[in-house]
Amino acid sequence: MLNNHRKGAYLAPFVLGLGLFILSSEALAQGAPTLSEGNTAWLLTSTALVLFMTVPGLALFYGGLVRSQNVLSVLMHCFAICCLASVLWLFVVYSLAFGDGGGANAVIGGLGKMFLIGVAVDALSGDIPETVFFMFQMTFAIITPALIVGAYVERMKFSAVCLFSALWLILVYAPVAHWVWGGGWLAELGVMDFAGGLVVHATAGTSALVVAMMLGSRKGFPADVKPPHNPGMVMTGAAMLWVGWFGFNAGSALAANGNAGMAMVVTHISAATASLVWMAVEWIKYGKPSLVGMVTGTIAGLATITPASGFVGPVGALVIGTAAGLVCFAAVQAVKQRYKIDDSLDVFAVHGVGGVLGIMLTAVFTAGALGGLGFAEGFGTAKALWVQFVGAAATVVWAGGMSWVILKVVGAVVGLRVSEEDEIEGLDITTHGERGYEI
């Protein structure tokens, strides 16, 4: 009897281990997700790269483009939006974008993931921890309202900036992110938006145009607008954006694989091509190629390739980069010179136009015959063009309409614009009590 007890004691761990092995083997056979350390490491890196795009990249890029009296206000806008978006993402925006909305799932997510309640430390999203996915997507939510800053620099109240950005994240960003990436109706329709042509650039660009129109022009626009106070700062910020964009686009593969590698290749090629095209057009038109112009072309190329980066090949990247340089340059001239709209740092022309242009060109250069990855079953170029158009139209209408409503509310609560005296003196000292430069 004693020997039997001893045998049982020895056999118990073996039986338990065998049972766990069988259970894990069955889970693997049934396709249950398991953690990929390589993919997790790449997404952790990509998250840091995308955050790097906003602070310091976008902050320096925009900060160098304004007058010296307003450089700190722009840095403050970008930094404050980063912090505000982070807290709101945890509170409710992540849940609305990626939560289960039950019967309304096609339109908006639910509230089940507020504060990450119920999300275990070891919970997976695919083969990466959901906490990592949460952080990666947070960085997209940070940069998108920060892009809109370029439309209202030098004249919008700081209180209005904060309130507008908060409401915009909840009412514009969360629904569109859900439609496209959270399993919503545009995803079901088959829209291709790899890294944010609609979710990031079309929403921000459209909203920027609405803000610029409702806020009104800067004093002296368009005849007497001061040039960028620090082109070197602009170039530094643009370079940081370029590097960070590899996390933005290649990270959106959500894996360390060949798709991420190709996304990185086409991102770089499009940016370089658009930079050269913008420089050439400016050189021909004005006789001198400017540093600010060339790096603006870089951002146009990056924004335009973003939705296509996971679907097209190098040839597509060359064409998309060329189109970005030409079309976005023309859009800048049209917005400011023809329509006299003071979209101060060209957010609509570069991000809005570039994002929608990229969405439509994705439908062309995804074709395998043109070096792309090929269409999903049941899709061809014609159907893809229609679906992409529907996605772009819905995004533009929603972002524009909701931004108008939000601005009306913000204007009624705190007001939108600083006084003329504050605008002339500069927002650094009048709003924040600091100066960027002591001269």
pLDDT value at position 104?
56
User: What per-residue confidence (pLDDT) applies to 105?
Assistant: 82
SS3 at position 184: coil
User: Residue 417: phi, psi to the nearest 5?
Assistant: -115, 145
Chain centre distance of CA 228 = 24
Provide the pLDDT for residue 26. 46
Q: Which helix or strand (DSSP H or E) is residue 81 part of? A: helix 71-88
Say what the pLDDT of residue 154 is.
97
pLDDT tens for each residue of the chain, 439 residues long: 445 544 444 444 444 444 434 434 444 445 668 999 999 999 999 999 999 999 999 999 999 999 999 999 999 999 999 999 999 999 999 999 999 865 558 899 999 999 999 899 999 999 999 999 999 999 999 999 999 999 999 999 999 999 999 999 999 999 999 999 999 999 999 999 999 999 999 999 999 999 999 999 999 998 888 999 999 999 999 999 999 999 999 999 999 999 999 999 999 999 999 999 999 999 999 999 999 999 999 999 999 999 999 999 999 999 999 999 999 999 999 999 999 999 999 999 999 999 999 999 999 999 999 999 999 999 999 999 999 999 999 999 999 999 999 999 999 999 999 999 999 999 999 999 999 998 6
**Is-contact 414 159, C-beta < 8 A?**
yes
b/e sequence 243-282, b meaning 16+ C-beta within 10 Å = ebbbbbbbbbbbbbeebbebbbebbbbbbbbbbbbbbbbb
pLDDT score at 101: 60
Q: What is the pTM of this model?
A: 0.92
CB atoms within 10 A of CB 120: 10
In sequence order, the 6+-apart residues with CB closer than 8 A to the CB of 312 are 266, 305, 320, 362, 365, 366, 370, 371, 372, 373
Q: How far apart are CA 388 and CA 402, in angstroms?
A: 21
End-to-end CA distance of the chain: 95
What letter represents residue 414's amino acid? V
282: its two tokens: 């400016």
Give the CATH fold of the 42-432 domain.
Answer: Ammonium transporter fold (1.10.3430)
Give the pLDDT of residue 336. Answer: 95
CA 439 to chain centre: 37
Q: At what angle do helices 258-286 and 231-250 cross, to 10 degrees?
A: 150
Contact 328, 304 (CB under 8 A): yes
Q: What is the pLDDT of residue 223?
A: 86
- The 3 state secondary structure assigned to 128-166 is EEHHHHHHHHHHHHHHHHHHHHHHHCCCECHHHHHHHHH
- Taking each helix axis from N to C end, the angle separating 203-215 and 381-413, rounded to the nearest 10 degrees, works out to 40
- Evaluate the omega torsion of the peptide bond into residue 129 and state whether it is cis, within 30 degrees of 0: no
